[in-house]
Structure 1
Amino acid sequence: MTSFTTGTGRSQTLTALFLAIAMAAVVGTALGFQHIGGYMPCKLCLEQRTPYYIGAPLMAVAALSSLMHWPAWLTRLLLALGGLLMLYGLYLGIYHAGVEWRWWPGPTDCAAVSGVVDTGGKGLLDILNDVVPPRCEDAALRVLGLSFAGWNVIASAILAAVAFRGAFRKG
């Protein structure tokens, strides 16, 4: 293991670039399933995106830090923060997957959160019976036995490992 003050190099730059792209791809996939595929996210689904919304730009700054030869501790700290964000994402994914498998109860207020509703020309009260928000306990889709939350567990674990490896690896 190396110190945070040890110089950074190509390894940290490539790691940060990979993480920025991978984090953007993961959250972009979730947004694609929502907006193109029509899968309405529940409250926990939306919460799982937060580490990616913060992490992708943070990793872009880490890449810039490494490319511009800013202090090594800054680049390594940003990569470590990316790892911590992905550990938080891992926790959120495990919690949500456990709720879906009914290993533990989910939040009592778990329903879809949406800022804009297309009423189709009807009044909001007229469409209340038409829109049924998803419950956190019900997985919208399972691929190879895993829900979106389960796949987030895998993605978060891999990205956390990559981030920590980049933070503590020699330049």
Structure 2
Amino acid sequence: MSRKLLILLAAGGSAALMLGALGFQFIGEMPPCKLCYWQRYGHVLAIVAGGLALWRPVMPLIGLGALGALSSSAIGLYHAGVEQKWWEGPNSCTSGSIAGLTPEELLQKITDAPLVRCDEIPWEMLGLSMAGWNALISLALGLLWIMAARTKA
């Protein structure tokens, strides 16, 4: 496969994931949580790097594309772990323990809570949440970027 084709597939994959995320958000009425937004940033970086690398395929741009896809994969894996309660997520988007709170502190915690929580799974397919699917697909896209870097121009 040519370097440009690999770049096109990798950046196009990130664009497809972004369109899917926006579709879930606006058509499916599933607003994103904080970690969902964090996963999107890597794809935006990969799309921009891909667009520029298609015009001029230099290693720094290919590296940025790989960094974007792989960072989205890592955040997706972290997010999937938060959803599965393997570890806690950011305090700003997960529920913590309420043991020992006074009624006033509990009320304050409730009123300060975000509308969309990171530790709930709004959609899943074949046992994987959107975050889990993003982790896997983004890893594959990162590997395409790495293949592009290793392919002769």
The two structures share one fold, judged by TM-score above 0.5? yes
AA aligned to 1:20 is A
Segments of 4+ moved more than 2 angstroms: none
Question: Quick check: 1:44 aligned with 2:35?
Answer: yes
Which of 23, 30, 33 in structure 1 is aligned with 2:21? 30
Distance in 2 (alpha carbons) for counterparts of 1:156 and 1:21: 12
Which of 80, 94, 102 in structure 2 is aligned with 1:97? 80
Matched residue count:
135
Distance in 2 (alpha carbons) for counterparts of 1:31 and 1:88: 19
RMSD: 1.7
C-alpha offsets along residues 145-168 of structure 1, whole Å, 9 cap, x if unaligned? Answer: 110100011111100000001101
Distance in 2 (alpha carbons) for counterparts of 1:25 and 1:168: 24
AA aligned to 1:168 is R
C-alpha offsets along residues 127-160 of structure 1, whole Å, 9 cap, x if unaligned? Answer: xx9xx71211101011111101000111111000
Q: Which has the higher helix share?
A: 2
AA aligned to 1:99 is V
AA aligned to 2:151 is R
- CA deviation after TM superposition for structure 1 residue 77, in Å: 2.4
SS in 2 for 1:85: helix
Distance in 2 (alpha carbons) for counterparts of 1:151 and 1:27: 13
Q: Which entry has the higher C-alpha Rg, 1 or 2?
A: 1
Runs of 5+ in structure 2 lacking a partner?
Answer: 95-110
Question: Quick check: 1:56 aligned with 2:47?
Answer: yes
Confirm or deny: 8 A CA contact 1:16 1:59 kept in the other structure. yes
AA aligned to 1:57 is V
- CA deviation after TM superposition for structure 1 residue 20, in Å: 2.1
Confirm or deny: 8 A CA contact 1:76 1:168 kept in the other structure. no
SS in 2 for 1:163: helix
* Alignment-derived partner of residue 114 in structure 1: none
AA aligned to 1:13 is K
Distance in 2 (alpha carbons) for counterparts of 1:29 and 1:40: 13
Which of 90, 106, 126 in structure 1 is aligned with 2:89? 106
* Alignment-derived partner of residue 118 in structure 2: 136
Normalising by structure 2, report the TM-score.
Answer: 0.82
AA aligned to 2:69 is M
Distance in 1 (alpha carbons) for counterparts of 2:48 and 2:68: 12
Normalising by structure 1, report the TM-score.
Answer: 0.74
Confirm or deny: 8 A CA contact 1:34 1:40 kept in the other structure. yes
Confirm or deny: 8 A CA contact 2:42 2:67 kept in the other structure. no
Runs of 5+ in structure 1 lacking a partner?
Answer: 1-9, 67-74, 112-128
